[in-house]
Amino acid sequence: MLWIMKGLLGVICVVISLCEATYSFSHRLGDNIEFDLHPTENGLRFKAKKLIHPRDEEVLSGTLMFGRNVSAMKCTNFLNCEIDDSTFSIEMIDVGLKFTWETKNKSTEFLDCYDLQEGVHWYGGPQRRVQSWPLEKMNISGSDPYVVKKDDNFAVAERYWLNSKGVVIYLKESVPLFVDQNVANEGRVCFGAKLEGPYINRNRNILDYRLVFGDDPKAAHLVAIDKFLGKPSGHPDSKMISEPIWTTWAKFKREISDSVVLGFAQDIKNHGYAGQLEIDDNWEKCYGAQEFDEEKFSDIVNTVEKLKGMGFRVTLWIHPFVNNDCENNSNEGIAEGYFVRDENNNTKAVWWNSDNAHQIDFTNPQAAKWWSARLNNLRNNIKIDSFKFDAGETNYGPQPSVYRSVDQEAIPNILTQSYIQTCAGFGSLIEVRSAWRTQYAPMFIRMIDKDSNWGINNGLRTLVTTLLQMNMNGYTMVLPDMIGGNGYGELPSAELIVRWTQANTFMPAMQFSYLPWDITSQDFDAPSIVQKFVNLHRNYSSVILRAMEKSMKDGSPVNPPIWWIDPTDSEALACDDEFLVGDEILVAPILTEGATTRKVYLPKSTWRDGNNGTLYEGPIIMDYSADITTLPYFLRE
């Protein structure tokens, strides 16, 4: 049987051969994409290729309904098929294809797997402690729901995969998603849909996603920004970009008070710095009171006034919890229904500061208003400038959680989305650490706490790979975590602080807690080197702001991978230790302990060495000498 249809992509030619219960078909999308579907006893085999003279190029392959015999699938009309209790449809959309599996049988599961082909790289995916890049290196267990969660730094988990052939896979919010990559099925990324874990109170199971075919990954990503991910509506306050942020957390942990904060600020000022000072954990009289502890902060109004007199903006660490022993607010929250609950009305939440707490239910507008009112009191009465918003992931409260006033197919990630939307109302000096479909928000999203080590296990090396992961999920206003890490288990060395500072220099903001003169070395002048790169960051802050303004216009990453210059360059497509500022600067930091040289790759363009002015014509690979005082960076001519 032969159909010829006119669609938004042009003429689509479809050939389907039906033989009772079996079929296969081949489709042409526009002039240069063709894909085939063939039923087998192990699933519906899929292949897509670009029609390029003289040799076609395969861009995506996989198996839909992986592991299931679909040879009995029946198609009653054009691209609408049935198998057992489920339906499968293919719809032509203006940018590619829409695949949908659906069933009313709540025990039926769907699993579509795509091959991680040799030589093809992938981008997007979740934030993790071990932030492997490109994405095909990452292992993801399909035993856990793919949601925004507190475990394993999973605070940014968009449903977005992009490959180096220019193919996007984007899964809809309504899918009860489980993702397995390289675990149950090595060499595959498998997108599963099943009504388990947090995915309750649903009337159907659905696996609904889009395939976009672009000329290259850059073109495909810009389409995804326009159609799916969105772009920022503004950028953070420019002072957060040009001046450092100073936080009490890593240096003092919870041991803070009026005198500690003032001493911290005076030390910073005495060394010639200013910026934004953040009072972190343990300022409250009890967690969730959102009132200062009167013993430790008996003079907080004057403390804030003094900090501002020193030239600092003052921000405050905020969380979305109320501990049970914070009785006034916990009792009120329970009585008014302001907390996340389960089907038995249990509201007990567990977070890092308590195993007997409650999480605010931000899907309830009254709960969000109740919580926000206390923050406004802090702004009005204490004159706090802004806030650092922590947590926001979905699984601190009792599981599975129930949210009765929202679309049940938006659960559980709608909790994170609602929290971030509430936070966004507090202005341009804020930061958050979790996200869900909030790429539009004009604020910093902070990387989850980094450890004070050099490696890929949440250390310095992941500063670059996390930056790339967040940017390629549409979160382009990235706040790197504090320089040198958080000192969990071990303190950073002077070398680590210096190299971390350098790596951070061309990222959107610089954040310190361990002060540059706290941890020093007899071998080099760490405070002077750090000062040099803080100054360099300030001098180039206009370039960072220009990249942010472009991101607002068309969604371009502020810190793209280096293949953004040439999305066909195989060397650039694999690179995991360099990044760009817009399309103007390439940065290749030293990320290895003791190293004073590194390989640097420059893609095609003319590049001027930022340190000595030497011109290079890319593409070129070079050995670059970089002693402890040197950051390799290059300006695009």
Q: List the chain domain ranges.
A: 2-229, 238-318+365-384+418-546, 562-636
Comparing 5-14, 181-190, 269-278, 542-551, which segment has the lowest mean pLDDT? 5-14
Q: Are 18 and 1 in contact (CB under 8 A)?
A: yes
Average pLDDT over residues 167-195: 98
Residue 23 — very low, low, confident or very high, per pLDDT cuts 50/70/90? low
Which alpha helices (DSSP H) does 424-525 contain, by range? 461-471, 494-504
State percent of the chain over pLDDT 90: 92
Give the residue-averaged pLDDT of 375-384. Answer: 98
Burial class (CB in 10 A: 0-12, 13-18, 19+), 17: exposed
Q: Over the stretch 603-626, which tens digit does the pLDDT of each residue have? A: 999 999 999 999 999 999 999 999
Q: What is the mean pLDDT of residues 476-485?
A: 98
Q: What is the mean pLDDT of the chain?
A: 95
Three-state DSSP state, 74: strand
Residue 570, both tokens: 């195989």
pLDDT score of 530: 98
Cβ neighbours for 36, distance < 8 A, ≥ 6 positions apart: 24, 25, 26, 27, 45, 46, 47, 48
pLDDT band for position 15 (cuts 50, 70, 90)? very low
pLDDT value of residue 54 = 80
Q: Where are the alpha helices (DSSP H) in 189-338?
A: 217-224, 238-242, 249-252, 258-270, 300-309, 327-336
Dist. CA 474–CA 156, nearest whole Å? 11
Superfamily for domain range 238-318+365-384+418-546: Glycosidases (3.20.20.80)
What are 434-479's pLDDT values in tens digits? 999 999 999 999 999 999 999 999 999 999 999 999 999 999 999 9
Q: What is the pLDDT of residue 78?
A: 60
Buried b (16+ CB within 10 A) or exposed e, 78-93: ebebebeebebbbebe
Binned at pLDDT 50, 70 and 90, residue 96 comes out as very high
The one-character DSSP state at 482 is P
Place of tokens 């991978």: 561
Asked whether the beta carbons of 433 and 148 are under 8 A apart, the reply is no
Pull the structure tokens for residue 244. Answer: 């450092």
pLDDT of residue 73: 85
> Which residue, chain included where needed, has tokens 């009504």?
195
The residue-averaged pLDDT of 296-324 equals 98
Q: Which CATH number fits domain 2-229: 2.40.50, 3.30.300, 2.70.98, 2.60.120?
A: 2.70.98
DSSP secondary structure letter of residue 329: H
Cα–Cα dist 325/171, whole Å: 41
Distance CA 554, CA 556 (A): 6
The answer to whether residue 4 scores a pLDDT higher than 70 is no
Percent of the chain surpassing pLDDT 70: 96
pLDDT of residue 3: 25
**Whether the Cβ atoms of residue 442 and residue 425 lie closer than 8 Å to each other:** no
pLDDT of residue 637: 97
CA distance 163 to 303: 52
pLDDT of residue 13: 35
Give the whole-angstrom CA distance, residue 442 versus residue 431: 10
* pLDDT tens by residue, 249-279: 999 999 999 999 999 999 999 999 999 999 9
The rounded distance, in Å, linking the Cα atoms of 131 and 138 is 8
pLDDT of residue 1: 22
Confidence of residue 376 (pLDDT cuts 50, 70, 90): very high
With tokens 């038995």, the residue in question is 344
Q: pTM, whole model, 2 decimals?
A: 0.96
The SS3 of residue 533 is helix
pLDDT tens by residue, 41-92: 999 999 999 998 788 999 999 999 999 999 888 887 667 899 999 999 999 9
The per-residue DSSP string of 346-378 comes to ---EEETTEEEEEEB-TTSHHHHHHHHHHHHHI
Q: Is 2-229's fold the same as 562-636's?
A: no
CATH no., domain 562-636: 2.60.40.1180
